Structure 1
Amino acid sequence: MLSESSTATVRATLPAVGAAIGDIADLFYRKLFDAHPELLRDLFNRGNQASGTQRQALAGSIAAFATHLVEHPDTRPDVMLGRIANKHASLGITAPQYAVVHTHLFSAIAEVLGDAVTPEVAAAWDEVYWLMANALISMEERLYAQQGVVAGDVWREWTVVSRAEETEDVATFRLTPSDGAPAPAFRPGQYVSLQVELPDGAHQIRQYSLTGAPASDLRTVTVKRVRDEGSPEGEVSRHLHTRVRAGDRLRVSAPYGDLVLHTTHAPLLLASAGIGCTPILSMLEHLAAEEHRAPVTVVHGDRSPADHALRADHAALTGKLHDASAHFWYEDPEAGHPAERTGLVDLSGLPVASGTHAYLCGPLPFMRAVRGQLLDKGVAASDIHYEVFGPDLWLAQG
């Protein structure tokens, strides 16, 4: 809880800080990487830095956290914090790194806002930062403990058992622990981080959803290649596609992620677009194994059937359930595809049962649209869960 004096100061200065938070985030990252270039090389996603999405996500999360402290002083935005903490845990972030961030963030704040940063203002925003940082540190410690690892020590070496081409731009890799020890359990919907060494010596990290059965010692990730050769945004996916084959070894994190399928007897709606189908497939496999009896509605949107990765699995797993239906939308469908399933996903003609719990994964515009349609159909906002691949820009974009 923010102190009364700091609450008044933060409320008064929030408009000015909010208006400048993008500039602050930009300067913060420049200062951080000037002082610690190894962080950009081996920890932060160079693609997200180049595109600016990481700066937008940082700015959005700070502004949202401060606003919540002021407007809802007796609660904490644990959904937002939990999403960040899971991502941090998958990267092996540790408590001392928050002090490093603090140094460069507050240097950026002082430089951008100048004389407006009085000692009182600095103290109030310092309190905001450490409330957020300590909440994340505590959550991350619990996540590490749940996996039985020392804080930050999330990495193991895994061997690629096989590789399969799903579409022209999507490949599936099946992995097993190189040391022969059991694979850590995961919950349907979670992801792992993969770290690869690139030709320039950088050790870049990306997150990929797990598919397949949690009970097996094999773990499966499906990777979509980003083809923009001039951008660092897809440098890891291109490396995996062009260089990694059966027998190769990869550094893989313990599984994390907060978009997990909760045990429920409620009707479910599982909606995805593009490669966002991967966590949904894990959920479907789990539901089939558990002989789930409640209704399940499966929704997916893609450019075409040829672009729909794991399309056959998507349909087959739905077919294994007691009461489930699959609805696929394609912008460029094959002959005979229903006209009402052509174009973008549109739930207007799809019945949604009362009490439905929804899980969404895909590009942000898709999830915004589907969430809005579900709210219009009476689904409670608290029952709509989502996963963003990459920095979470939902808050940053309002």
Structure 2
Amino acid sequence: MLSEQSAATVRATLPAVGASLAEITERFYDGLFAAHPELLRDLFNRGNQAAGTQRQALAGSIAAFATHLLEHPDERPDVMLGRIAHKHASLGVTPEQYKVVHQHLFAAIAEVLGDAVTPEVAAAWDEVYWLMANALIAIEKRLYAASGQTGWRQWRVVGRIEETADVATFQLSPADDGPVPDFRPGQYVSVRVELPDGARQIRQYSLSAAPGSPVRQIAVKRVHGGDTPDGEVSGHLHARVREGDTLELSAPYGDLILDATDAPLLLASAGIGVTPMIAMLEQLARTGHRAPVTVVHADRSPATHALRSDHEGFAAKLPDAAVHFWYEQDAPESAHMGLVDLSAVPVASGTRVYLCGPLPFMRAVRTQLIEKGVRPADIHYEVFGPDLWLAQD
């Protein structure tokens, strides 16, 4: 994929570029938002920008893509690209925006690395950028075409359920009374809201009911962001959105999807990461999945375990399901106290795994499962927010 000349230059400069990526991405976002403040106001997550997590994710993805081009020149990292493309599609990213990103990213590279950015170095990294960008543009084009939806669609709130003190379920029906499009269990939608300062901020929420329902259902955890804007959308939804209000939703996207399979499954979640697992469990119950299903969940306490009755109820409808809950406090006799420990949990050969929750939780569970013989290729995950898995490898 990468030309021989560019590959040699990228290999020689990757250590220097990699060591400076944090500063490069910081300069990039500063320049981008100075020139295009509407992108921070209406597209990028202001909370992630304030916390610096989006910069970490961008740096990690660039380094991972460049490294993959060098180590696997005949392959494309489709899993990583697919996850990014689904997120971009849910935000409505356009091909023209990649040109804007290119302009400000390469200005930041030149500013940070100075004279080290020779014409040959610039050309090599330009090739890396457009290999990644054009791959994403192509995937996103296919996703847009498959979704059958252009832009945002109005949905009416037809029900609101207080699941816990900080989690509310919103049941939604198309405001135009049109059909409810299909989706895959595990996918999410973007929700766009207008905040008091006029910003139109976007967040992603997993669909927490299986396909086929006449309504869409999302469970939103209120994030207490402290001094940063983090949590401004979840706070707005909790404080202001009631039955009869309308919300703008994207088409469903996301690559953590439950495929039709006869294989044993393990669905592991923590906190609000339970939401895609509920849709998966409901779908498995509807289709009569007969292979073993192992349900694993970790939470602070039973009182904070959102959708717990659905979690238990759908699992109970399966012919061969085992449920294992871990709580840090107030664990009942039927659950475990402390952090997830799978040492005594049987895992059938050939099990496919789906993970969703905080990154430390998913890393710990993945490590335990690999030690128990699960193939890494059979472990799939979803990160809420910027994907920092690559950034921390």
TM-score range (shorter-chain normalised) is over 0.9
For residue 93 of structure 1, what is the aligned residue in structure 2? 93
Measure how far apart 1:229 and its partner are. 4.5
For residue 127 of structure 1, what is the aligned residue in structure 2? 127
Cα pair 1:271 1:360 within 8 Å, conserved: yes
For residue 354 of structure 1, what is the aligned residue in structure 2? 349
TM-score by length of 1: 0.98
One-letter code aligned to 2:349: S
Residue aligned with 1:222, SS: strand
- The number of residue pairs the alignment matches comes to 393
Partners of 1:124 and 1:101 in 2: CA distance: 17
Residue aligned with 2:81, SS: helix
User: Do residues 18 (structure 1) and 18 (structure 2) align?
Assistant: yes
One-letter code aligned to 1:349: A
Partners of 2:225 and 2:171 in 1: CA distance: 25
Residue aligned with 1:183, SS: coil
Q: 1:335 to 1:77 in 2, by over 3 A?
A: closer
Q: Which runs of 5+ in 1 are unaligned?
A: none
For residue 111 of structure 1, what is the aligned residue in structure 2? 111
Measure how far apart 1:148 and its partner are. 1.9
One-letter code aligned to 1:38: E
Map 1:195-274 → 2, pairs under 5 A: 195-274=192-271
Residue aligned with 1:167, SS: coil
Measure how far apart 1:231 and its partner are. 2.1
Cα pair 1:190 1:279 within 8 Å, conserved: yes
For residue 394 of structure 1, what is the aligned residue in structure 2? 389
One-letter code aligned to 1:107: A
Map 1:222-371 → 2, pairs under 5 A: 222-338=219-335, 341-371=336-366
One-letter code aligned to 1:215: G
Partners of 2:308 and 2:117 in 1: CA distance: 55
Measure how far apart 1:335 and its partner are. 4.7
Measure how far apart 1:337 and its partner are. 4.6
One-letter code aligned to 1:122: A
Residue aligned with 1:188, SS: coil
Measure how far apart 1:263 and its partner are. 1.3
TM-score by length of 2: 0.99
Residue aligned with 2:391, SS: coil
Cα pair 2:207 2:279 within 8 Å, conserved: yes
Runs of 4+ in 1 over 6 A off after TM superposition: none
Measure how far apart 1:176 and its partner are. 0.6
For residue 48 of structure 1, what is the aligned residue in structure 2? 48
RMSD, aligned CA: 0.8
Measure how far apart 1:228 and its partner are. 2.9
Q: Which runs of 5+ in 2 are unaligned?
A: none
Cα pair 2:331 2:337 within 8 Å, conserved: no
Partners of 1:158 and 1:337 in 2: CA distance: 39
User: Do residues 3 (structure 1) and 3 (structure 2) align?
Assistant: yes
Measure how far apart 1:230 and its partner are. 3.0
Cα pair 1:90 1:154 within 8 Å, conserved: no
Residue aligned with 2:231, SS: helix
Cα displacement string for residues 3-31 of structure 1 (whole angstroms, at most 9, x for unaligned residues): 00000000000000000011000000000
